[in-house]
């Protein structure tokens, strides 16, 4: 029986390998096929005893990653070989030197970059962030490291079902927090959308399934609608002689969910549920005029929404995305987004810059410089950034998802900055010295302050003064990591100088009091004055924030403490902290690897209740806090602070009351409030903590905070309230006054 299975597996491995070769065949040259075969055999041999969590042979994974590299990112032979070998140095006996000897330095460098960023989930917070910083260092050398890593992450997300729940949560959180934004920034929109959809599939499976089912239900009617919508347009485009194809596609599940959540509307009310894409086959020099010609035809038949025109054909996004988007009103009263682009633009939109990245063969695509500019910024950021790794990741991430703003220098040079950038960001983008001495700016010949937020088309002239110096407030005015890191560098220099002055003052004071000066005493002083670090203590003394004369109080305190010290008979028993927990009239969560009963608090940012999927987070000052896995803060906590996450699950269905918040929307009528409160208080015997109602122009909008037992109790309540005459929608929402 086992022999038959192994034989079948062997055949399946060969089938998958041949499929990879077929997809790679169009661009293979010389002895590429031989090298790929050699890499496949090396990987097959190295992983022969290994299986994935699903029970499948491990070799399926590198084969799948290589296939994603070819088909979905458009990479070549070097990347295929790297994908096939990406786990061998990390997981097997094979050394990097052997890889270099057999496959050359390029492949070895990529494998080295990929090895540096593995094992992310087994480490603590700073280690995870440090790994990400290492990955970005490799990006500035060879972008293929990150492209192969994204292919690896995509396949891991596609096969996440076999992983335990706590591993799933860590992987999906890191994906939504870092890898999806990175795919977006590299122009890999198809991969970015799929990573976001898979995140939703595992973070909120019921919501995901409901949206998938509704999209499937509406497929036939959607196809009919697109056919009738496109019919008049197609007839006209055919007359122009342009070659084209039309694709109708629903929005991604994640973007539909985001819109539902953001606007607090059901699936049926998401107005631009699908987009129509017209892809033109046009020579490069005719692309722009062809796109505008088709736009003109579309708007001849349908009225466009003037606020929804996006022209990325004239000014491409910084990651190279080019397309013309307009939203028009159909004859059935539905908004439809129409995207107009050429085949070349579509290839870049689907596969990012990999579609044109020729890896320094001298045949680079037309817009390679856009990615080069961005990588140059990443390189600068890495060189400038000496903050801790977590701060670095947060800074970097803040610049990943931002839309761009296009502005001009006084000489008319175009500068692209992230949306939300200020005149101070612009000054630092020109030059560090210009930023450091910036007093203000003239925008379109009008004086504006440092914190003026730039708008598309602004022309900016920076005003400077040799007496100007950066201060702490400036950090609130900037959106770019370059400006932030330069401001921090200047402040650090000033802090260093003030700390050195403070240290001298402390030494003098201790000498006067005939006390020794060493690192132990310095630490005791830090603790006495309740500062986080010794440098902070010195800095505050140097700046006069801590009065140096108060150091003599430390001497008195130390003397008193020595007198009062007595030998302890027993080491502190930390379990005493939790000894009262069992006596409280409530069931308690089981927490940690050993599932102990520990003390905890519920996070106000998401107000978990029994039945919710939850995890524990060890805070600095407030013990363990329990968050829902769908909490707005969950992705950051799970991906950046892995060492402070503890497993948590409900011991039983609880009899106690937990605070939950409901929003009820409906059409106002006499007696509606009475009917709602009747169900809550009389029928289901639920206690309300607060209720607020707003009725305007016939719409009833109520926010109710009430005490319920668990999620099934809450679902029962929502179900009953939805049946009340006039109630249109009942949703659970996060408490607005909560924080984590």
Residue-wise pLDDT tens digits, 466-484: 888 888 888 888 888 788 8
Task: Output the pLDDT for position 375.
Answer: 63
Q: What is the average pLDDT across 111-125? A: 57
Mean pLDDT of 67-77: 86
Tokens 């022999």 correspond to 3
Q: What is the pLDDT of residue 289?
A: 92
Tell me if 422 sits within 8 A of 479, measured CB to CB: yes
> What CA–CA distance (Å, rounded) separates 408 from 311?
18
pLDDT at 181: 82
Of the ranges 248-257, 328-337, 399-408, 663-672, which one carries the lowest mean pLDDT score?
399-408
Does the pLDDT at position 363 exceed 60? Answer: no
**pLDDT value of position 566:** 45
Question: Which pLDDT does position 122 carry in this prediction?
Answer: 36
Hey, how many other C-beta atoms are within 10 angstroms of the C-beta on 575? 9
Given a cut of 90, whether residue 71 has pLDDT beyond it is no
User: What is the per-residue pLDDT for 597?
Assistant: 55
Q: Which two tokens stand for residue 435?
A: 């930023």
Average pLDDT score over residue span 551-574: 54
User: Mean pLDDT across the stretch 576-597?
Assistant: 44
13/48 Cα distance (integer angstroms): 11
CA distances from 90 to 35, 119, 585, 598, 602 (A): 21, 9, 50, 37, 39
Indicate whether 565 pLDDT > 80. Answer: no
| 576 pLDDT tier (thresholds 50, 70, 90) | very low
E strands present in 583-657: 590-591, 596-597, 601-602, 614-618, 624-628, 645-649
Give the residue from 286, 285, 291, 358 showing the smallest Cα distance to 322: 291
**Contact call for residues 265 and 327 (beta carbons, < 8 A):** no
Lowest mean pLDDT among 16-30, 395-409, 689-703: 395-409
Model-level pTM?
0.65
What pLDDT shows up at residue 279? 93
pLDDT of residue 370: 56
State the pairing for strand pair 596-597/645-649.
unpaired
CA–CA dist 65, 48 (Å, integer): 17
Q: What confidence tens digit (pLDDT) does each residue in 369-383 have?
A: 455 666 666 666 665
pLDDT in the model for residue 587: 41
- Round the average pLDDT of the chain to a whole number and report it: 78
Angle at 194 between CA 191 and CA 197, to 5 degrees: 150
Matching residue, tokens 């009917």: 675
Six-digit token string for 297? 């035809």
Q: What was the pLDDT predicted at 24? A: 86
Q: What are the structure tokens assigned to 156, written together?
A: 């891991």
pLDDT for 191-215, tens place per residue? Answer: 889 999 999 999 889 889 988 888 8
Q: Answer yes or no: are the C-beta atoms of 642 and 124 closer than 8 Å.
A: yes
Length of the chain equals: 740
pLDDT at 568 over 60: no
SS (H, E, C) 664-694: EEEECCCCHHHHHHHHHHHHCCCEEEEEEEE
Active-site residue, selected from the candidate residues 56, 71, 91, 272: 91
H-run or E-run covering 443: strand 438-443
pLDDT at 167 over 60: yes
pLDDT digits (tens, 9 = 90+) for 626-668: 888 888 888 888 877 777 788 887 765 445 567 788 888 888 7
CA distance 369 to 274: 32
Q: How confident is the model at residue 299 (pLDDT cuts 50, 70, 90)?
A: very high
C-alpha closest to that of 716 among 669, 662, 673:
662
Mean pLDDT for 392-399 is 62
Q: What is the pLDDT of residue 340?
A: 94
What domains does the chain contain, in order, with CATH numbers?
A: 2-205 (1.10.3210.10), 212-355 (3.30.460.10), 489-562 (no CATH), 578-649 (no CATH), 658-732 (3.30.70.260)
Q: Which residues pair with 662 in a beta bridge?
A: 704, 732
Q: Tell me the CA distances in angstroms from 147 to 16, 182, 199, 603, one per residue in order.
A: 21, 10, 19, 37
| CA separation for the pair 472, 482 (Å, rounded) | 16
Contact 84, 62 (CB under 8 A): yes
Q: Is the pLDDT of residue 294 over 90?
A: yes
Lowest mean pLDDT segment, chosen from 154-163, 217-226, 264-273, 495-504: 264-273
Q: Are 374 and 318 in contact (CB under 8 A)?
A: yes
* pLDDT score of 292: 94
Ranges assigned E (strand) in 465-594 = 590-591
pLDDT greater at residue 333 or residue 294: 294
| Dihedral (CA of 129, 135, 139, 140) sign | positive
Does 738 have pLDDT greater than 60?
no
CA–CA gap between residue 428 and residue 482 (Å, rounded): 7
| Pairwise CA distance, residues 118 & 605, whole Å | 32
Non-local (6+) Cβ contacts of 370 within 8 A are 316, 318, 319, 320, 353
Spatial distance between the Cα atoms of 479 and 394, rounded to a whole number of angstroms: 12
For residue 161, CA distances in Å to 28, 166, 588, 637 come to: 35, 12, 29, 22
* Residue 536 is a catalytic residue: no
pLDDT attached to residue 698 = 75
Q: Which DSSP category does 631 fall into? A: -
Question: Phi and psi dihedrals of 731, rounded to 5?
Answer: -135, 150
User: Taking Cα atoms as reference points, which of 184, 145, 180, 139 lies closest to residue 320?
Assistant: 184
Structure token pair of residue 696: 């305007």
Active site residue 722: no
* 259 burial via Cβ count (<10 Å: 0-12, 13-18, 19+): middle
Q: Which residue has the higher pLDDT, 281 or 512?
A: 281
Q: For residue 383, what pLDDT is reported?
A: 59
DSSP string across 537-594:
HHHHHHHTSS-GGGHHHHHHHHHHHHHH----SS---GGGGGTTGGGSSS---EETTT
CA distance 325 to 317: 13
Most confident segment among 186-190, 298-302, 498-502, 609-613 = 298-302
Reply yes or no on whether the pLDDT at 342 is more than 80.
yes
The residue annotated as part of the active site, out of 9, 12, 56, 90, is 90
The encoded tokens of residue 651 equal 């011991």
Q: If you write DSSP's letter for every residue of 106-172 in order, what string do you get?
A: HHHHHHHHHHHT--GGGS-HHHHHHHHHHHHHHHHH-THHHHHHHHHHHHHHHTGGGS-HHHHHHHH
Mean pLDDT confidence for 679-703: 77
């Amino acid at each position: 029986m086992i022999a038959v299975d192994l034989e079948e597996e062997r055949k399946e491995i060969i089938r998958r390998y041949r499929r990879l070769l077929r997809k790679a065949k169009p661009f293979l040259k010389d002895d590429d096929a031989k090298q790929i075969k050699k890499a496949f055999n090396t990987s097959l041999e190295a992983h022969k005893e290994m299986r994935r969590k699903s029970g499948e042979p491990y070799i399926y994974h590198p084969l799948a990653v290589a296939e994603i590299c070819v088909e979905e990112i458009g990479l070549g032979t070097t990347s295929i070989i790297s994908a096939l070998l990406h786990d061998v140095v990390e997981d097997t006996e094979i050394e990097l030197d052997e890889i270099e000897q057999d496959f050359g330095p390029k492949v070895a460098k990529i494998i080295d970059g990929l090895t540096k960023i593995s094992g992310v989930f087994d480490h603590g917070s700073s280690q995870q962030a440090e790994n990400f910083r290492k990955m970005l260092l490799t990006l500035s050398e060879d972008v293929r490291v990150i492209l192969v890593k994204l292919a690896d992450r995509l396949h891991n997300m596609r096969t996440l079902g076999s992983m335990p729940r706590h591993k799933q949560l860590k992987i999906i959180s890191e994906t939504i927090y870092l890898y999806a934004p990175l795919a977006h920034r590299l122009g890999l929109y198809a991969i970015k959308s799929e990573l976001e959809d898979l995140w939703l599939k595992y973070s909120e499976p019921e919501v995901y399934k409901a949206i998938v089912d509704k999209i499937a239900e509406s497929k036939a009617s959607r196809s009919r609608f697109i056919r009738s919508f496109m019919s008049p347009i197609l007839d006209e485009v055919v007359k122009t002689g342009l070659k084209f194809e039309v694709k109708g596609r629903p929005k991604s599940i994640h973007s539909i969910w985001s819109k539902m959540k953001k606007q607090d509307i059901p699936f049926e009310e998401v107005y631009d549920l699908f987009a129509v894409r017209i892809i033109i086959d046009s020579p490069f020099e005719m692309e722009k005029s062809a796109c505008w010609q088709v736009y003109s035809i579309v708007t001849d038949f349908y009225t466009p929404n003037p606020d929804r025109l996006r022209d990325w054909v004239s000014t491409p996004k910084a990651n190279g995305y080019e397309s013309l988007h307009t939203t028009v009103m159909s004859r059935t009263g539905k908004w439809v987004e129409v995207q107009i682009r050429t085949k070349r633009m579509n290839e870049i939109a689907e596969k990012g810059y990999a579609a044109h990245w020729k890896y320094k063969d001298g045949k680079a695509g037309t817009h390679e410089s856009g990615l080069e500019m961005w990588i140059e910024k990443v390189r600068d950021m890495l060189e400038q950034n000496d903050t801790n790794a977590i701060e670095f990741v947060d800074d970097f991430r803040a610049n990943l998802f931002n839309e761009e703003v296009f502005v001009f220098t006084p000489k008319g040079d175009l500068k692209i900055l992230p949306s939300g950038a200020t005149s101070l960001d612009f000054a630092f983008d020109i030059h560090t010295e210009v930023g450091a001495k910036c007093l203000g700016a003239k925008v379109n010949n009008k004086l504006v302050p440092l914190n003026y937020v730039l708008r598309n088309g602004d022309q900016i002239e920076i005003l400077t003064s040799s007496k100007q110096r950066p201060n702490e407030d400036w950090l609130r005015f900037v959106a770019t990591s370059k400006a932030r890191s330069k401001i921090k560098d200047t402040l650090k220099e000033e802090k260093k100088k003030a700390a050195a002055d403070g240290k001298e003052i402390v030494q003098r004071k201790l000498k006067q009091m005939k006390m020794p000066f060493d690192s132990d005493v310095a630490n005791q002083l830090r603790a006495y004055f309740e500062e986080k670090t010794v440098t902070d203590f010195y800095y505050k003394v140097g700046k006069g924030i801590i009065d140096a004369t108060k150091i003599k109080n430390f001497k008195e305190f130390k003397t008193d403490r020595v007198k009062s010290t007595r030998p302890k008979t027993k080491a502190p028993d930390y379990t005493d902290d939790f000894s009262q927990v069992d006596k409280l009239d409530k069931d308690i969560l089981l927490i940690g690897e050993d599932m102990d009963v520990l003390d905890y608090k519920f996070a106000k940012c998401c107000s978990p209740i029994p039945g919710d999927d939850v995890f524990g987070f060890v805070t600095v000052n407030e013990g363990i806090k329990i968050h829902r896995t769908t909490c707005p803060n969950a992705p950051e906590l799970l991906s950046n602070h892995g060492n402070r996450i503890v497993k948590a699950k409900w011991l039983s269905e609880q009899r106690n009351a937990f605070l939950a918040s409901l929003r009820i929307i409906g059409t106002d009528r006499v007696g509606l409030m009475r009917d709602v409160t009747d169900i809550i208080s009389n029928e289901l015997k639920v206690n309300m903590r607060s209720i607020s109602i707003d009725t305007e122009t016939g719409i009833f909008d109520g926010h109710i905070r009430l005490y319920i037992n668990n999620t099934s109790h809450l679902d029962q309540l929502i179900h009953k309230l939805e049946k009340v005459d006039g109630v249109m929608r009942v949703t659970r929402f996060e408490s607005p006054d909560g924080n984590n």
